[in-house]
Amino acid sequence: MKTYIVGNWKLNFTVGEASVYLHKLLQKLPNYRDVEVVVAPSTMALQPLSLQVDRHKIKLAAQNAFYRDYGAYTGETSFTQLYGVVDYCIIGHSERRYLFGEDDKMIAKKVEAAIRNKITPILCIGETESERAFGETADVIRDQLIGGLREVSEEDLDKVIVAYEPVWAISSAKSAKLASPDDVDEVVKLIRKTIEELYGKEAAENMPVLFGGSVNPSNAGGYLTVPGVNGLLAGSSSLILSQFIDIIDVAKRVQR
């Protein structure tokens, strides 16, 4: 399986800055066939960057989109509009869940709309600090996974990527802590077990599962060697080109 390195730029970079970053990344990045490099710029930058990017080297992801295709939904962008512009879309990021009130029902509709429009959803799931403190991690992970995949048929499951992002480990969290590879291992096993119960062993083995939460070039190797982790989702470190490239290099080195 490929290793995925996804950079989530969140609400950062003007279109011009994003274009300069992409230009430099394209120049510096060797063509690593088995590392899938993905960047997720803001919606505004997607169209111009899609004309600039070399898709053999780098793929684009949206950070969010709406599940209706067209209509009276002021301010939204649909997966239908993103078709051909991006290959991936991050869905259910904790910032969407907790700052913008997205629930599993809405997230499930977005996952369905992404697949229908030939965009690979990267479904983010993860427990908050207090959920973890109350011993609710397993329940939250199962609920978010089952909830987010509710509208995905068995035959479409291979079009989905899951990202485990403990909310307490994301760098923007008030008192972010680093997840240990053992923490990640425990939850990734639970994710695969849940998928196996729902869709069978083969589906569970084949589903790419990523980890995200304060990933940087020094800890990337530790997370990537956790069995069953197929890649990383990086936020703040993806904003610094040299760090993002170093993470990609680590992925190349530790590839199984």
Contact window for ligand PEP (CB under 6 A) among 76-84, 188-196, 200-208, 227-235: 227-235
Structure tokens at 82: 């993103």
Choice from 148, 212, 217, 231 touching ligand PEP (CB under 6 A): 212
Nearer to ligand PEP, 131 or 196 (CB): 131
Q: What are the angstrom distances between the C-alpha of 54 and each of 24, 57, 88, 110, 240?
A: 12, 6, 15, 27, 20
Nearer to ligand PEP, 90 or 106 (CB): 90
Cα torsion angle, 181, 182, 188, 191, sign: negative
Choice from 234, 245, 248, 250 touching ligand PEP (CB under 6 A): 234
Give the binding-site size for ligand PEP (rule: CB under 6 A): 14
d(CA 38, CA 8): 9
Interior CA angle at 82 toward 78 and 86, to 5°?
140
The residues annotated with a catalytic role in the active site are 93, 165
> In the chain, how many H helices and how many E strands?
11, 8
Residue number closest to ligand PEP, CB atom: 235
Contact window for ligand PEP (CB under 6 A) among 74-82, 143-151, 213-221, 246-254: 213-221
Q: Counting contacts by CB under 6 A, is residue 147 touching ligand PEP?
A: no
The structure tokens 């259910």 sit at: 92
Q: Which residues bind ligand PEP (CB under 6 A)?
A: 8, 93, 165, 170-171, 212-215, 233-237
